[in-house]
Chains A and B, each alone.
Chain A
Amino acid sequence: MSDAAVSPAIAIEGVHKWYDDYHALRGVDLTVAPGERIVVCGPSGSGKSTMVRCINGLEPHDRGRIVVNGTELRRDSRALQAVRRQVGMVFQQFNLFPHLTVMENLCLAPVWAAGVSRAEAAARARRYLARVRIAEQADKYPSQLSGGQQQRVAIARALCMEPKIMLFDEPTSALDPEMIQEVLDAIRELASDGMTMVVVTHEMGFARALADRIVFMDEGSIVETAPPEAFFTSPRSERTRQFLARILQH
């Protein structure tokens, strides 16, 4: 990473993570440049989600270093909150706050964590809701929306903190097939604006279209990192080939 002209958005160096005795991450190294779009794939249990969740400290790593926009992640909660305000996250299960309306979901963190005025937060919320094309749902509760709409609200909620980096942890895995496309479109549009992104997904077509680089993980380590064309047409490692053969079959 010494040859990088600009400092990386995310630098992960030799990161290990254990869940009790289970070695979930085994020495992960990854550097993400500002504006770069990384798609992480791999079989389940390979550590994809764990790695992404380490980037904003939802899971503390046990060894190694993670630096996000120049701030190293430590267990100190102030540094952690500072990093989290710059890193948006979208979850598989949406995790919207069910007791709040869409608008309140969006305004909560800007007002209470970033100190934005209520009026400004509301303006932001409307802007991002329009961007994910659900402006008309602002006063509904999450339970009144479809899965795809909920996930787009979740994306807008993360954007309202105006993050520099967005993390997506299998954003379409909990969706009905007919709703996957609308969420992918929202992510794609975001990518076209130059947002730095790390996306964990099983949608290979989407990965190919979106990614600057694809990271393939297996058994807690990164097996291969390659641009999409090279990744799909001439994977270097045997494990990658097996994985691709399995998921591209159908």
Chain B
Amino acid sequence: MTPARTTVDLRPPAMRLRPIRWMRRNLFGSPFEAVLTLLILCGLWFALRPLVDWALIDAHWSGQGRDACAGGGGACWVFVRARLGQFLYGFYPEAERWRVDVGIALVALAAIPLFLPRMRRKGSIACIALPAAFAVAGFLLTGGAFGLVAVETGRWGGLMLTVVVAVTGIAASFPLGILLALGRRSEMPVIRTLSVAFIEFWRGVPLVTVLFMASVMLPLFLPDGANVDKLLRALIGIALFAAAYMAEVVRGGLQAIPRGQYEAASALGLGYWRTLGLVVLPQALRHVIPGIVGSFIALFKDTTLVLIIGLFDFLGIVQAALTDPQWLGFALEGYVFAAAVYWVFCFGMSRLSARIERRGAPANAPAGRTW
């Protein structure tokens, strides 16, 4: 019994402009804008041209040894190529490097369902697949059984070590941070006090100090013979450190959830953990995706600090290669390469987060532009 319609729907005016019109409107809208645009383009040209010349046009790409880079002012990427294996795997034995590839691929594979938009029960799948993948990858990397040669963590290094430290840090700090955030909001005074104490302690200490403590001081307190691997100690330190920051980010999300949501869930007979897992956390975490990813990116870059306890992460191993007498004088190439790799990883995380954010928003919620 819908009444006869007396109104007509009009289509909204088209907002997409073709390139030329877009440029005319946005770059050359007024004489002042046009001058500004030209000035900026000019500036970019002068700033970027030498860089492009150096990094791409005049660069040396192929050849063997430093002689290949003799003459010309361009970058010597031959250096990076010659050392690439070490940059990626550190001192991991060459014959065993496939284990690293397989391990990292396994974890990536297990994480894929999380990013598929329309997959059912991806939460439960990830809860089983990810820990399993971590366990297998951990075994692959360390070896020592089933015919795999043991590779002690002292020989790990390069990008692989960076990824191991960052991924373990992220994977451990995320659930731990959630628990701490919940603990800090708990009604039980003991749990609340402990959570606050933990968070404030770890946030108050510089990461460098944490790593020093883990590597130098901790062994002094441990009984003789109880030897915990240095990398493992660093990993634990980093995870706890990152968890404290994560907790505060998550707490921000929890505070944004109105009381009515808790009440509606309890009134329906859902208990504390189900209310959290089904109603509160899905909303709270979605609110703070930018903050969470920000912490992940910060953590990824902070992993470079493991250098000071004698672990050669990606940046560390690049720096070490710079002091090789054979390749002296190519510091710029090394650092530019390192910066580019870090940037690619961090930018990738940022893009991924934007994707999740967009997808998570209910159909017509004002999502805002993430790009």
Contact = CB atoms under 8 A, between A and B. Distances in A.
A84 B363 contact: no
Contacts of A158: 267-268
Contacts of A87: 267
A142 B260 CA distance: 15
A95 B264 contact: yes
B52 to A, nearest CB: 46
A84 B266 contact: yes
B261 A95 contact: yes
A99 B285 CA distance: 11
A95 B364 contact: no
B286 interface: yes
B42 interface: no
Nearest to B270: A113
A185 to B, nearest CB: 16
Interface in A3-20: none
Interface stretch (B4-12, B147-155, B276-284, B310-318): B276-284
Interface in B247-286: 258, 260-261, 263-272, 274, 278-279, 282-283, 286
Interface in A160-184: 161
Contacts of A96: 264
**Counting chain A CB atoms within 10 Å of each CB, which of B264, B268, B283 scores highest?**
B268
Nearest to B282: A99
Contacts of B270: 108-109, 112-113
Given A99-B362, A143-B365, A85 B269 contact: yes
Contacts of A206: none
Nearest to A104: B278
A112 B264 contact: no
B362 A91 contact: no
A141 interface: yes
B267 A113 contact: no
A245 B207 CA distance: 70
Interface residues of A, number: 30
A114 interface: yes
Interface string A60-95: 000000000000000001000100110111010101
B329 to A, nearest CB: 56
A95 B263 contact: yes
**Counting chain B CB atoms within 10 Å of each CB, which of A85, A87, A109 scores highest?**
A109
A45 interface: no
B271 to A, nearest CB: 6
Contact of B269 (A84, A97, A140, A141): A84
Given A56-B267, A58-B267, A114-B269, A144 B364 contact: yes
Interface string A209-233: 0000000000000000000000000
Interface in A124-154: 140-144, 154
A11 B338 CA distance: 72
A154 B268 CA distance: 11
Contacts of B266: 58, 84
A194 interface: no
Interface residues on chain B, size class: 20 to 34
B279 A97 contact: yes
B361 to A, nearest CB: 9
A143 B364 contact: yes
Contacts of A98: 283, 362
A157 interface: yes
Contact of A108 (B267, B268, B286): B268
Given A58-B263, A95-B260, A112 B364 contact: no
B282 to A, nearest CB: 5
Nearest to A77: B271
Contact of B286 (A58, A84, A93, A99): A99
B365 A91 contact: no
Interface string B21-50: 000000000000000000000000000000
Nearest to A113: B269
Contacts of B269: 81, 84-85, 109, 113-114, 161
Contacts of A91: 260, 263-264, 267
**Counting chain A CB atoms within 10 Å of each CB, which of B263, B264, B278, B365 scores highest?**
B264
A145 B92 CA distance: 59
A87 to B, nearest CB: 8
A204 to B, nearest CB: 26
A242 B264 CA distance: 35
Given A112-B274, A112-B278, A141 B268 contact: no
Contact of A113 (B268, B362, B363): B268
A141 B363 contact: yes
Contacts of A161: 268-269
A87 B263 CA distance: 13
A42 B270 CA distance: 31
A192 B286 CA distance: 42
Contacts of B283: 97-99
Nearest to A86: B269
Given A84-B266, A99-B362, A109-B269, 7 more contacts: A84-B268, A93-B258, A114-B269, A141-B363, A143-B362, A157-B268, A158-B268
24 contacts: A58-B267, A81-B271, A85-B269, A91-B260, A91-B264, A93-B258, A95-B261, A95-B264, A96-B264, A97-B279, A97-B283, A99-B283, A99-B360, A99-B362, A108-B270, A109-B269, A109-B270, A112-B270, A113-B268, A113-B269, A141-B364, A144-B364, A154-B264, A161-B268
- Nearest first, the 3 A-B pairs at minimum CB distance are A95-B264, A109-B268, A95-B260
Interface of A: 56, 58, 77, 81, 84-85, 87-89, 91, 93, 95-99, 108-109, 112-114, 140-144, 154, 157-158, 161
